[in-house]
Chains A and B, each alone.
Chain A
Amino acid sequence: MFMQHFADGILSGAIVALGAIGLSFTMKILRFANFSHSELLTWGGYLALIFLAFAGSFTDLSASKISPFSFGWPMLFAMLGSAAATSLLAVLLHYLVFRRLARTAGHMTLVFASFGIALLLRHLVLLFWGHDPIYYSNELQFAIRIPGGARVMPDQVFLLGLTILVVVFLHLFLTRSRTGIAMRGVAENPELARITGVNVDWIIIWVWVIGASGAAISGVLYGMTVQLRPELGFSLILPLFAAAILGGAGSLYGAVLGGLIVGLSENLSVMVIPSTYKPAVPFLLILVILYFRPDGIFGERK
């Protein structure tokens, strides 16, 4: 049993990690807790449906699946398309709302606004797609047995592999590309970055794009391995925040580690507490961390 929970923990941790990367960066660079970030996961998952349908008009979706997975190249196309579209959504929200408010008001106003936007985004999904869960495909998969008596689906293996790829890619981006280095500079000291010649406004757009893309991919992976439903993002708010706070705002590896810890603790906890209380585990984690470190693990006093 333990191995199964452990495996589930790693997989759910990967989803949280991908979503938390964007949250962590925006928390550090834009300096507010964005309660609407989780809805980018929801929208990422649902937008992929549109791209999938588009691809489906060119090819037979079931026939194009790549065994043993439940999907084929159309899904990869949908993922990329969704990342792009969700990035556009995030940048739009930034221009229309967050940037304007950041100029004229304090952090908490931004948090309020993010509440409002989260509400809007979630119910727009409800309006357009309805209450019921949606699945990308009805393909059956055969579970793979792994040592310890656990079983995982091929799609879940893909999830893990893709997450690792994304993290490696981001690491290279942050350390090898000048834009990535500039982003780290902005995270540490935006004014110095400006003085140095970095166009901070541009970097902020990049932050949104990366965060939204990570969120979109996470949402699609969730939809692929669990299901798409309007409360997808909402159910992940606390895990995402827990991961970002655990790992320290602004840290790529922190977000990944945080995500894994959240996923593992959630799934392993059902061995000791009733599984209906599972959603409370990330919250308890948050309380514990913040009790010992009121500014977060690597936080700085304002």
Chain B
Amino acid sequence: MIGFVSYLVFFLILALTFGIAVLGLNLQWGYTGLFNAGVAGFVAVGGYVMAILTGPARPEVLGGFELPFVIGLAGAMLAAGLAAWIIGLMTLRLRHEYLAVATFGIAVTIHLICLNWEYVTGGTLGLIGIPNPVRAFSDSVLMQNVFYLLIVAVAALVAFVALERIVQSPWGRMLKAIREDEEAAASLGKSPARVRLESFVLGCMLMGLCGALYVGFIGYVSPSDFLPIVTFQIWTMLIVGGSANNRGALVGAILVWGVWVGSGFFVSRVVPPEIQAQGGALQAILIGLILVLTLLFRPKGLIGEEVHVSRHAQL
């Protein structure tokens, strides 16, 4: 029983952490219509900054600040936001397909930097020894995790409530107007480009927060934590849950993460050890299938709202 609870806690920590990133993506895509294909990159920025700020001194690598957990989180969010601001200035006026290609390229570039800029990122080995604040609260690993789950759950809740408030605010209504008809929205006063940038930055800050929380929990960070599959996972969570819907974002996160973990379990139990690595491909195949099937048969996701439907469905 304890084992099950312990596993459930572990599961929920990760699911909700991803959920925060999905909320960010939902703001960008569901509410603003921005196609960010480089989610993993911004999560990575958050994760690495967290590791650098809170981690101990490391030989030949930037570090030793040993700042508190919360500062680390804030720093991660700021860094991700800054990166988003710079990138957004360069790319947001691109139309959809090109924005997808550009943001994809950014994630690849960030990944390259994580692999190679050893002074800052520790290269392929990454950074270890990231302190976890909950260790001070209890000796039992289970209780520690429960505390961490509390932290993550609070963060997710705050993000959720904040987003719900924001989208109902005048700023949020402007977002909706831009998505529907940009020219008309521009005539109302506020610059659509500026609002889009703000939305992009805010969404990426949430992704940075996800990265920071993830890294704070796991205790180390390496480039292989932020492969493009992460971007796919988060997008699938969003689509399965229904876009333009914050509740759906969180539900999608839990569901898709459940499938991922469940299938991983299945693979490790059923697949013979020699071909485990190949069996691991099954997880990705499953996620890919879910994404495509959801798009084909339930484009509104599970708790859907409107979907970006073209007026010219003609080919």
Contact = CB atoms under 8 A, between A and B. Distances in A.
- Whether A and B touch directly in their complex, counting CB atoms under 8 A apart, is answered as yes
Interface residues of A, number: 57
Q: How large is the interface on B (under 10, 10 to 19, 20 to 34, 35 or more residues)?
A: 35 or more
Given A277-B116, A287-B105, A124 B291 contact: no
B115 A119 contact: no
Interface string A105-126: 1111101110111111011101
Interface in A62-81: none
Contact of A106 (B94, B277, B285, B308): B308
Interface stretch (B2-10, B96-104, B187-195): B96-104
B108 A279 contact: yes
B186 to A, nearest CB: 16
B162 interface: no
B291 A123 contact: no
Contact of A119 (B98, B278, B288, B296): B288
A277 B307 contact: no
Contacts, number: 157
A106 B291 CA distance: 16
Given A105-B307, A302-B95, A112 B315 contact: no
A190 B314 CA distance: 10
Contacts of B277: 130-131
Nearest to B105: A283
Interface in B100-121: 100-102, 104-106, 108-109, 112, 115-116
Interface stretch (A7-15, A82-90, A291-299): A291-299
Given A238-B108, A276-B112, A290 B288 contact: no
Contacts of A101: 295-296
A274 interface: yes
Interface in B65-116: 90-91, 93-98, 100-102, 104-106, 108-109, 112, 115-116
B101 A294 contact: no
B295 A113 contact: yes
Contacts of B112: 276-277, 279-280
Interface string B40-75: 000000000000000000000000000000000000
Given A117-B292, A290-B91, A131 B97 contact: no
Nearest to B239: A112
Contacts of A287: 90-91, 102, 105
B184 interface: no
A272 interface: no
B93 A294 contact: yes
- Chain A interface mostly helix, strand, loop or mixed? helix
A274 B235 CA distance: 33
Given A112-B235, A294-B93, A123 B284 contact: yes
Given A32-B97, A290-B98, A109 B295 contact: yes
Contacts of B94: 290, 294
B104 A112 contact: no
Contacts of B296: 97, 100-101, 113
A103 B275 CA distance: 40
A130 B102 CA distance: 30
A61 B94 CA distance: 50
Interface string A232-269: 00100110010001000000000000000000000000
B284 A119 contact: yes
Nearest to A30: B315
Interface centre among B116, B236, B285 (most CB of A within 10 A): B285
Contacts of A294: 93-95, 98
A274 B123 CA distance: 14
19 contacts: A33-B100, A103-B315, A104-B309, A105-B295, A105-B310, A111-B35, A113-B295, A116-B295, A119-B285, A120-B289, A123-B282, A127-B278, A127-B282, A190-B314, A237-B104, A238-B104, A276-B116, A282-B105, A291-B90
